[in-house]
Structure formats: C-alpha cells, structure tokens
C-alpha cells in the first residue's frame, strides 16, 4: 500500500534544518558482525550484507569532515571492524593521512583467542598512529563472546598499546560475568528483570535498534502515550555522537539506528525535510506525531508496551517500511536494518 501523509495542518512546521559543526562520531565500516547482540542499535549480525567502506569513499568522508568540522573527533566501528583486517588498516591509514583526530577502534574482541592472526594487526594499527582500542564487554556481548576471550583480547591490546591502550567498556561487567563461568557464554535470558535493567543502566542503553525487542526487557515497558513529552529535535540535531556508514548515510547523534537524516555531504548545509515526511514529523512533533500519523495508516500499538520512546519510534518506522511500496520513505535507511529486525521478530514468533 502507499501512504499519503498530510502535513498541511501544521503550517508552522520547520521545513529545513541546519546541523551545527560535527563534534564527534563514528565511521561504520560495515553492519556485518560475529554477534547478534540484543542491545544493538544498528541491528548488526552475521547475516547483514558483506559490504565494507572502501578506501576511496573513506578518503572523501574524512576529507569532508576535515574541511567542514576540523575539530571533530572520530572513532571507527561497525558491525565488527576486525572481521576485515585489511579494510580496517586501510581506513585507519586514510584517516591519519587526512589529518583526522582518530580516538579509537571499537570491537567485540571475538579475536581474543587468535593472537597469531590479530596481534600483527594490532601492531600495524599502532604503527599507523592509533593509540586506543575500545573493547565492548557486557552481558549482551557475552552471549557470544566468552569472558576469557575478552580478557585475552585486553591482554593482547595492552601488550601492543600499553595498559591505557585498552579502553574496556565496561570493565565492571568482567567481574560479574566471570562469576558465571569465564569460559562459558552467558545466557542473558537467565537474568532477572532487575538485573538486566541494572545492566542496561550501567551500559547507558538507548532502547533503539533491536534493543527494545530484547527479552527480558531492558526497562519497564509502558504505553505509547507515556513517551509523548518532547519532540526529537535535540537528538536529531546533535552532532556529539553521529555516525556515517558505508552507504554514506548520516545517522544523527541521538544514535537513531535506521534513520538516514541525509547523505553525509549534506551536513554542511541546510537539510530539506519536505522529501523526508517521517523525519519532518519527528523533528517537529516528536514520536507523538509519528504515532498519531501511524494510527491513521493502520498501525496497532504493541500490547505489552515499549521500553522507551526510541523503541516506539523504531516499531512505528518498521511499520511504515514494511507497509510502504518499495520503501517510499528515503529516510528509512539502510533498508536492511528494517528487514533484519522484522525477520528476527517473525522468527521468534514462529519459535514461540
């Protein structure tokens, strides 16, 4: 079916927005990952397209950032960057060649038990000028990465980068996870509601991506109307934690996985919202406006509620994506984000 979203009643809608200079953010090399973590904002997984940012595209992105926001601090992430060591090395080298302030590369450390292959990669990264590796540690990662594997990776990084070169996010989880078995994957479904909510708070989780659909839930679920307090202007205009992916999509600093605010080259000027109707509603009315628009188009509120306004937003965007003809909403990108979440939800429902 097609949608005819009427915005005419809102004559005071902002039609154009301008972002401040880019402050800090990440370059997403790929959405492919070894894991399918329940908290992932971008719905990375082993099944995602095997597409990687190439060196030429990276050079253009870094050149644009350097010219338009020379003070921006950048990190490299995914997906999982270490799945393609040569691509990772090429992108890091390109970043330094373009004079980018590169803070760290983030990883789930799946490679911790393979020093023969990955210690040389770490040494090359250090030789290029990188000084920090962020190693993600949490119950969500530990479903796929054993605690001892994370510990081994931390030791390997410190052996090359020095003690401070291993940025462990969050180190406190290692103690908790080790009590459940250092060489065992962690079964997150055994966590009590209280424990998973405490873990979510410690990790500063945003209930976007597949996070809102996690079981057990990362926060107490509430009805849609409980999240109608504010619009989403602050998140959409933030450049403090933006991301640019391998397709050239600019994801706003509110970490809104599945929203392409624009092509990254448009961030230096005005962004026209008139051809991005869902984004226009979010900016002007917030998730309340998006919800009311979705109801008119046939959306049904989830019976058990939502973990936060970002979960509500993702669920509504998923509805529009799946019910539109050929994804008529260009801001819903990359398309694979919505296909991945939909497929995973359908698979869970079949199992149950």
3-state secondary structure 217-229: CCCCCECHHHHCC
pLDDT in tens, 224-267: 999 998 789 999 999 999 999 999 999 999 999 999 999 999 99
Say if residue 351's pLDDT is above 70: no
300-325 average pLDDT score: 95
pLDDT in tens, 274-285: 999 999 999 999
Say if residue 341's pLDDT is above 70: yes
Distances (CA, A) of 149 to 81, 113, 144: 17, 6, 10
335-341 average pLDDT score: 97
20-40 average pLDDT score: 97
Say if residue 6's pLDDT is above 80: no
Say if residue 191's pLDDT is above 50: yes
Strands (DSSP E) found in 19-164: 24-28, 73-77, 101-107, 133-136
53-73 average pLDDT score: 97
Grade residue 8 by pLDDT with cuts at 50, 70 and 90.
very low
Q: Which CATH number is 20-351's, of 1.10.10, 3.20.20, 1.20.1070, 3.40.50?
A: 3.20.20
Distance of CA 149 to the CA centre of its chain: 23
- The reported pLDDT for the residue numbered 10 is 53
Dist CA 200 CA 12 (whole Å): 38
Dist CA 315 CA 210 (whole Å): 10
The pLDDT mean for the chain works out to 93
Say if residue 321's pLDDT is above 70: yes
Say if residue 28's pLDDT is above 50: yes
- Calculate what percentage of the chain has a pLDDT beyond 90: 84
Q: Classify residue 204 by burial, with Cβ atoms within 10 Å: 0-12, 13-18, 19+.
A: exposed
pLDDT in tens, 91-125: 999 999 999 999 999 999 999 999 999 999 999 99
- Calculate what percentage of the chain has a pLDDT beyond 70: 95
pTM above 0.85, yes or no: yes
Residues in contact with 216: Cβ distance below 8 Å, sequence separation at least 6, in sequence order: 188, 189, 191, 192, 193, 196
Minimum mean pLDDT range among 2-6, 41-45, 97-101, 166-170: 2-6
**CB-based burial, 267-295: b 16+ in 10 Å, e otherwise:** bbeebebeebbbbbbbbbbbbbbbbebbe
319-340 average pLDDT score: 92
* Per-domain boundaries in the chain: 20-351
């Amino acid at each position: 079916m097609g949608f005819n979203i009427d915005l005419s009643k809102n004559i005071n809608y902002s039609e154009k927005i301008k972002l401040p200079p880019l402050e800090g953010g990440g370059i997403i090399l790929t959405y492919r990952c070894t894991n399918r973590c329940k908290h992932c904002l971008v719905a990375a997984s082993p099944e995602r397209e095997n597409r990687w940012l190439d060196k030429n595209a990276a050079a253009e992105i870094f050149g644009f950032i350097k010219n338009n926001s020379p003070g921006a601090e950048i990190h490299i992430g995914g997906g999982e960057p270490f799945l393609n060591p040569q691509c990772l090395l090429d992108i890091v080298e390109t970043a330094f060649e373009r004079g980018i302030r590169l803070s760290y590369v983030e990883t789930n450390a799946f490679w911790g038990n393979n020093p023969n292959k990955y210690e040389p990669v770490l040494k090359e990264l250090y030789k290029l000028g990188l000084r920090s590796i962020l190693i993600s540690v949490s119950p969500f990662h530990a479903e796929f990465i054993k605690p001892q594997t994370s510990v081994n990776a931390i030791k390997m990084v410190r052996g090359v980068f020095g003690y401070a070169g291993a940025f462990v996010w969050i180190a406190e989880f290692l103690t908790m996870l080790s009590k459940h078995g250092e060489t065992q994957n962690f079964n997150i479904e055994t966590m009590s509601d209280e424990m998973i909510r405490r873990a979510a708070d410690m990790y500063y989780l945003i209930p976007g991506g597949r996070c809102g659909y996690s079981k057990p839930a990362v926060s107490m679920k509430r009805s849609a109307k409980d999240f109608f307090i504010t619009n989403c202007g602050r998140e959409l205009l933030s450049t403090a934690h933006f991301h640019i992916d391998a397709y050239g999509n600019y994801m706003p600093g509110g970490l809104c996985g599945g929203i392409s605010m624009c092509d990254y080259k448009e961030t230096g000027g005005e962004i026209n919202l008139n051809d991005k109707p869902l984004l226009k509603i979010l900016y002007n009315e917030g998730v309340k406006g998006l919800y009311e628009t979705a109801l008119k188009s046939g959306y049904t509120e989830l019976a058990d509620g939502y973990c936060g306004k970002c979960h509500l937003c993702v669920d509504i965007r998923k509805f529009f994506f799946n019910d539109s003809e050929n994804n008529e909403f260009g801001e819903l990108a990359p398309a694979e984000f919505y296909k991945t979440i939909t497929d995973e939800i359908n698979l869970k429902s079949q199992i149950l």
